[in-house]
């Protein structure tokens, strides 16, 4: 006779947990906590299915925030409540054979993250969610959670939860199972050994579903929080079977996995070319530029429809293409046309601290209200470009350099009033040298959203340059 190991620490766990220092082999969980049990069931299922090297474990905010110290898998620690959304991103980024686990508590999943989990479930992501329901916020000290029972006393419901004051406990498994997309929803319990053994099978089943690419599986695990509940480990387990399971009945709520597994879940994916096209700005090879004399604090202002936003964004993109630092900060109302709009652009040789421009050294005023609003804020010796088509008055200050450009008239002549700000921008570029006109011409094709307007914008640059040469070049 000899003995063989029948049950031991699953190899999906790290051998040592480095959080508290080398050699540490225990979790950070309180004695009797359900998380350790749930972790062990998940880790063993990973072992049994042979998926450790292709599993990504998405941990939440809450007591189980340190999942990455325990699971020797891929790990993502997600923003509070967003584990199901982050897991969606992981699912869709990696190839189809990845296994993604979203492991979340009740405050995380059913409180702050209610929106994220509902939509992940509704999309039927091929994802496995383990929802640890202990009816309380454990990590922060036992506050009332969405799943807290009526009458249950917590630090924030000291007289016991009432439906009138705090509403009812949310039955997540029931809610999720009402959606069309999920394929597997079951509630299990860690309240007794029998429940744990059943949970072990369900946890593995939920992962098996993902291996078979069946879609969204959701397992709610009723789990003890002895410290948060102010009980010893065994009383906490009895409380689960006597109280929690009465409100949250254990059992399967959805199992569509008896059907043959689908071959694959088709998803529309953008090709690399389409993606590059989406984020095309800056694809122009960088242009060699001389050093910028002054940091440029540019305010471009007008009304919607004059091209204030697209032109100012183009300016920032040109500066970046010339290897400078640049920021673009738009400010506008909800209107697509009409309404006032202005943008702040900072161009610098050095990293930029704040993108806000309060005292510009360049003002491009495209309409009269903009000149009225910003004229006084321009720095002495600053540059002011006035759209003289729409602004009849002259600039009152005599300590700034002013250029009057009939930008709107020129733009109308070219065939699109929306290119007016491009005309003014070309004047600014030619006069200041902050960005070169050539760079503007190179950047316009990728920067202008409507491709049929590329030519007219290129003409607007030409026209602005011509106007500058004829009227202001010394």
Partner 1 sequence: MTKNHVKIENSECKGCGVCVDACPKGCLTIGKEINEQGYAYVKFDSENCTACGMCFYVCPEPGAITVYKAEKK
Per CB under 8 A, residues contacting partner 1 are 1-10, 13, 25-27, 29-37, 39-41, 43, 70, 190, 192-193, 196-197, 200, 226, 232-234, 237
Nearest CB to partner 1, comparing residues 37 and 120: 37
Question: Cβ 295 to partner 1, closest distance in Å?
Answer: 56
Question: Cβ 131 to partner 1, closest distance in Å?
Answer: 18
Question: Cβ 54 to partner 1, closest distance in Å?
Answer: 21
CB 288 within 8 A of CB 442: no
Q: For residues 42 and 55, what is the distance between their CA atoms, to the nearest angstrom?
A: 11
Q: For residues 460 and 454, what is the distance between their CA atoms, to the nearest angstrom?
A: 10
CB 39 within 8 A of CB 57: no
DSSP symbols for 250-270: -EEEEE-TTSPPPS-------
Q: For residues 57 and 38, what is the distance between their CA atoms, to the nearest angstrom?
A: 13
Question: Cβ 36 to partner 1, closest distance in Å?
Answer: 3
Question: Cβ 190 to partner 1, closest distance in Å?
Answer: 8
Residue 121: which residues within 8 A CB-CB, separation 6 or more? Answer: 84, 129, 176, 179, 181, 182, 216, 218
Question: Cβ 67 to partner 1, closest distance in Å?
Answer: 12
Residue entry with tokens 């009269």: 368
Question: Cβ 26 to partner 1, closest distance in Å?
Answer: 5
Residue 145: which residues within 8 A CB-CB, separation 6 or more? Answer: 106, 107, 110, 111, 134, 135, 136, 137, 154
Question: Cβ 218 to partner 1, closest distance in Å?
Answer: 22
Nearest CB to partner 1, comparing residues 37 and 341: 37
Alpha helices for 300-453 (secondary structure H): 308-321, 368-374, 407-414, 420-432, 437-447
Q: Is 89 exposed, middle or buried (0-12, 13-18, 19+ CB in 10 A)?
A: middle
Q: For residues 211 and 354, what is the distance between their CA atoms, to the nearest angstrom?
A: 48
Question: Cβ 165 to partner 1, closest distance in Å?
Answer: 33
Question: Cβ 119 to partner 1, closest distance in Å?
Answer: 32
Nearest CB to partner 1, comparing residues 34 and 360: 34
Q: For residues 428 and 296, what is the distance between their CA atoms, to the nearest angstrom?
A: 11
Nearest CB to partner 1, comparing residues 38 and 456: 38
- In the DSSP assignment, the letter for residue 152 is -
Nearest CB to partner 1, comparing residues 227 and 422: 227
Q: For residues 210 and 215, what is the distance between their CA atoms, to the nearest angstrom?
A: 6
Nearest CB to partner 1, comparing residues 25 and 450: 25
Q: Is 163 exposed, middle or buried (0-12, 13-18, 19+ CB in 10 A)?
A: exposed
The dihedral formed by the CA atoms of 402, 403, 407 and 409, expressed in degrees to the nearest 10: 110
What is the C-alpha radius of gyration for the chain, rounded to an integer number of angstroms? 31
CB 219 within 8 A of CB 128: yes
Q: For residues 378 and 376, what is the distance between their CA atoms, to the nearest angstrom?
A: 6
Q: For residues 342 and 425, what is the distance between their CA atoms, to the nearest angstrom?
A: 14
Residue 259: which residues within 8 A CB-CB, separation 6 or more? Answer: none
Question: Cβ 38 to partner 1, closest distance in Å?
Answer: 9
181: which 2 tokens?
């997309």
201: which 2 tokens?
């099978």
Question: Cβ 40 to partner 1, closest distance in Å?
Answer: 6
């Amino acid at each position: 006779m000899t003995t063989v190991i029948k049950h031991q620490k699953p190899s999906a766990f790290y051998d040592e947990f480095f959080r508290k220092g080398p050699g540490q082999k225990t979790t950070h969980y309180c004695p009797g906590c359900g998380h350790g049990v749930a972790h062990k069931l998940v880790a063993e299922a990973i072992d049994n299915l042979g998926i450790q090297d292709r599993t990504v474990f998405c941990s939440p905010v809450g007591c189980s925030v340190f999942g990455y110290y325990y699971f020797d898998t891929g790990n993502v620690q997600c923003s509070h409540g967003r584990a199901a959304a982050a897991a969606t991103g992981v699912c869709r980024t990696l190839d189809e054979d990845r296994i993604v686990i979203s492991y979340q508590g009740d405050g995380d999943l059913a409180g702050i993250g209610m929106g994220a989990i509902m939509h992940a479930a509704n999309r039927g992501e091929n994802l496995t969610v383990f929802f640890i329901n202990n009816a309380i916020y454990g990590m922060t000290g036992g506050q009332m959670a969405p799943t807290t029972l009526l009458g249950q006393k917590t630090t924030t419901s000291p007289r016991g939860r009432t439906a009138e004051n705090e509403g009812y406990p949310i039955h997540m498994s029931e809610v999720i199972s009402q959606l069309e997309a999920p394929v597997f929803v079951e509630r299990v319990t860690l309240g007794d050994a029998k429940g744990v053994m059943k949970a072990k099978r369900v946890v593995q089943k939920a992962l098996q579903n993902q291996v078979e690419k069946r879609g969204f599986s959701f397992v709610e695990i009723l789990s003890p929080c002895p410290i948060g509940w102010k009980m010893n480990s065994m009383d906490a387990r009895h409380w689960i079977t006597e109280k929690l399971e009465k409100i949250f009945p254990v059992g399967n709520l959805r199992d569509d996995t008896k059907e043959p597994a689908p071959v694959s879940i088709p998803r529309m994916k953008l090709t690399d070319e389409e993606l590059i096209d989406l984020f095309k700005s800056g694809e122009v090879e960088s242009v060699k530029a001389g050093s910028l004399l002054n940091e440029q604090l540019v305010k471009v202002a007008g009304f919607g429809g004059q091209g204030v936003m697209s032109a100012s964004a183009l300016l920032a993109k040109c500066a970046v293409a010339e290897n400078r630092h640049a920021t673009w900060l738009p400010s506008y109302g909800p209107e697509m046309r009409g309404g006032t709009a202005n943008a702040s652009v900072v161009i610098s040789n050095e990293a930029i601290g704040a993108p806000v421009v309060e005292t510009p050294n360049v003002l491009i005023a495209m309409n009269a209200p903009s000149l009225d609003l910003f004229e006084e804020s321009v720095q002495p010796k600053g540059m002011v470009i006035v759209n003289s088509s729409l602004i009849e008055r002259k600039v009152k200050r005599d300590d700034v350099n002013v250029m009057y450009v009939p930008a709107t008239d020129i733009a109308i002549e070219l065939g699109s009033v929306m290119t007016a700000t491009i005309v003014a921008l070309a004047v600014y570029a030619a006069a200041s040298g902050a960005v070169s006109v050539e760079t503007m011409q190179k950047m316009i094709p990728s920067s202008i959203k409507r491709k049929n307007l590329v030519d007219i914008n290129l003409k607007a640059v030409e026209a602005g340059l011509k106007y500058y040469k004829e009227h202001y070049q010394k």
